Amino acid sequence: MREGWRNLFAETPSVLKSPERSKTIVPIRDFFIGGDAFVTMAGPCSVETETQLFATANAVRRKGARILRGGAFKPRSSPYSFQGHGHEGLKMLSRAREETGLAIITEVISENDVELVARYADILQIGSRNMENFTLLEKAARSGKPILLKRGMVATVSDLLRSAEVVLNNGNPHVMLCERGIRTFETTTRNTFDVTAIAVLKQISHLPVIADPSHAAGYRELVPALARIGVAAGADGLIVEVHPEPDRAWSDGDQSLSFTEFDEMMDSLEPYVALQSRKTKHTSHEPKLEALV
């Protein structure tokens, strides 16, 4: 690592690469994130109905996704937008896991809900709005569940790493960093996909990095291209929004892929994933799962 970077990120020593720790591999049920395999998380922005959720879960599983995403609690920009089904949404996610075998990732938005969400989820997502909610980060860390930490809308890389440091310092080593686009002067897309951040994070941090092309783009037509860019930059996985009828979605329909579009995106990613696998297969060795649990 460049000495200048080490000095720049001196406040977050726990998340930086070192001779003792060059890579964190996060165990999720019977697989890993951050090891040799590229992992896709896919599903609807919000859990709407059991029919919608199960159809999506089966569709993304057939094309290789390992994790089902879906919001039970939804922090929305408008107080009049759908806020999620809460506990009932968590129950639907649990039933989808039983049917498909997919792991579950869902967002927790309040420290008061951490215990409840952790009973159902395999991964706790900390959304961009809560990246610097340190009370929530501390409580989520102490749940023992793996954490997906999304970069805040106006957060620097240093800000993101400081939040990750909070989780690690509260006894939870299983943190994944997520680049989901930041707000800049550009208004053509929902956010500006900071692919440079993915490349930098892979250079300086031992934590896995996940790319979120859906929230970066805001438009489903752009999601596959941004996904390919994220893979090429070195991301360990993707989190992407998929819906059986995107134009009728209760939230984020514009950026959600249909099943056919998801299939096509996954096909287009194959050579990019294969290239990254060839680069890492001689240096990355996944430990036995029981050694990490």
| Per-residue pLDDT at 149 | 98
Question: What pLDDT shows up at residue 285?
Answer: 52
Chain-centre distance for alpha carbon 46 = 15
Strand 31-33 relative to strand 175-179, pairing:
unpaired
According to the model, what pLDDT value does residue 67 have? 98
Looking at residue 292, what is its pLDDT?
A: 44
What would the two tokens of residue 9 be? 């990120």
- CA angle, 242 as apex, 236 and 244 as ends, to 5°? 155
pTM recorded for the entire structure? 0.92
Residue 1: the pLDDT is 76
What's the confidence (pLDDT) of residue 83?
A: 65
- The pLDDT, as a whole number, for residue 85 is 86
Domain chopping of the chain, boundaries: 36-281
pLDDT of amino acid 75: 67
Element (H, E) at 124: strand 123-126
For the chain, list residues with pLDDT below 70.
Answer: 74-83, 278-293
Beta pairing class for 209-211 and 175-179:
parallel
Tell me the CATH class for 36-281: alpha beta
